[in-house]
Homo-oligomer: A and B are copies of this chain.
Amino acid sequence: MNIILFGGDGFCGWPTALHLSELGHSIVIVDNLSRRKIDIELQVESLTPIAPIDRRIETWKEVSGKDIKFLHFDIAQDYEILLRTIKEEKPDAVVHFAEQRAAPYSMKSSRHKIYTVNNNLNATNNLCCSIVESGFDIHLVHLGTMGVYGYGTSGMKIPEGYLNVELKEGNKSAEMEILYPAHPGSIYHMTKTQDQLFFYFYNKNDKLRITDLHQGIVWGTQTDQTKRHDNLINRFDYDGDYGTVLNRFLMQSAMGYPLTVHGTGGQTRAFIHIKDTAKCIQIALENPPQANERVKIYNQMVETHRVKDLANKVSQLTNAEITYLKNPRNEAAENDLHVKNDCFLSDGLLPTTLDEGLLEEVIEIAEKFKSRADTTKILCKSNWSNA
């Protein structure tokens, strides 16, 4: 397949590009390098020393013999370049990672809220619009988030995107299939719920074929491809904005600090290893929706854990202590989370679990690169609201 990866230099995009390239697909990466520029703004770097994108691509050519093309532009700003790229590359499929993806970053200030809304919504609309204008039948795969569901609504299992509900009015009633009601917890998550409405509309009106992946929290750093050379290493974020809870625990323990749990640690989250992210996108690309099919939604996650259980797992491997802090997010202190993920499992995903992969993160990433860490950056400083 000819595939364009929008946001292909990022944490999920880069390993996915290599995974798909190794499988023999023709890969174009489009990226505005915004994630690297945000590192400069936040005065922090990936713990792992990532190479510039051109060097990454040259190295991949050396170790695999395969070409990847890189185009540097901003799909949220440069519609005409985007349209020309679609027309020239004639992709069979595009994968859309080109969104600001950190909830705490999206809540830092008004400027960050406005940037996240403007970037994420225009990127998604421009991409849908350019595919329609090109006239080609291109499968759009989008990396969404489990966060569109909110956490643990009603205590029932979260389905894959759609919900059957019963409407009642007096003694009349009707069955209806709806998108799972949106319940976003941050500006970032809100933009992903708004993305769902772009997809719903362009699918309905223009018959765009779309797969939307509602992904859990990604953990792990390396894949079989990124391990093949130091220049291919993937990023590892540990700062308060972009670092996930697990990565911050890993860094705290490597530095000999206590692990900081917000609130009671009773919040349950869904997780998936970065290797499985790449594999899921492969599966999504190999199983596109049919013509006239509604938007296909997969829950892209493997297992759920409570935050305090994560802290305990890291503590057991490293003997780190655990301390509890006030939670800056507006959310319930404790929640259950039951998620359906039948689609990927039935399509052949053989997932990596936390119990299998956590030790590698401790030794090969956190311990190995801890001298590069800026320990002042580990705590989250965004306040969700003043209300």
**Interface residue ranges, A against B (CB under 8 Å):** 79, 83, 110, 113-114, 117-118, 121-122, 125-126, 129-130, 132-133, 135, 153-157, 163-169, 172, 174, 176, 178-179, 181-182, 184-187, 190, 193-194, 197-198, 200-201, 204-207, 330, 384-387
Contacts of A387 in B (CB 8 A): 205-207
Nearest-neighbour CB distance to chain B for A110, whole angstroms, equals: 5
Known: A121-B121, A165-B167, A166-B166. A200 touches B176 (CB 8 A): no
A114, B198: Cα distance in complex, Å: 12
Q: A169: which of B157, B184, B190 is its contact (CB, 8 Å)?
A: B157
Do B110 and A129 touch across chains, with their CB atoms under 8 A apart?
Answer: yes
Contacts of A110 in B (CB 8 A): 79, 83, 129-130, 132-133
Contacts of A187 in B (CB 8 A): 201
Query: 8 nearest interchain CB pairs?
Result: A165-B165, A207-B387, A178-B181, A166-B166, A194-B194, A154-B174, A190-B201, A117-B125
Known: A165-B166, A165-B167, A168-B164. A176 touches B153 (CB 8 A): yes
Known: A113-B129, A117-B125, A129-B114. A184 touches B172 (CB 8 A): no
Contacts of A197 in B (CB 8 A): 182, 184, 190, 193-194, 197
Beyond A156-B167, A179-B181, 9 additional contacts (C-beta under 8 Å) are A110-B130, A114-B122, A118-B125, A121-B121, A156-B174, A178-B178, A178-B181, A184-B200, A206-B385
Select from chain B the residue with minimum beta-carbon distance to A135.
B386
Do A204 and B156 touch across chains, with their CB atoms under 8 A apart?
Answer: no
A181, B167: Cα distance in complex, Å: 11
Contacts of A178 in B (CB 8 A): 165, 178, 181
Q: A205: which of B155, B165, B330 is its contact (CB, 8 Å)?
A: B330
Contacts of A198 in B (CB 8 A): 190
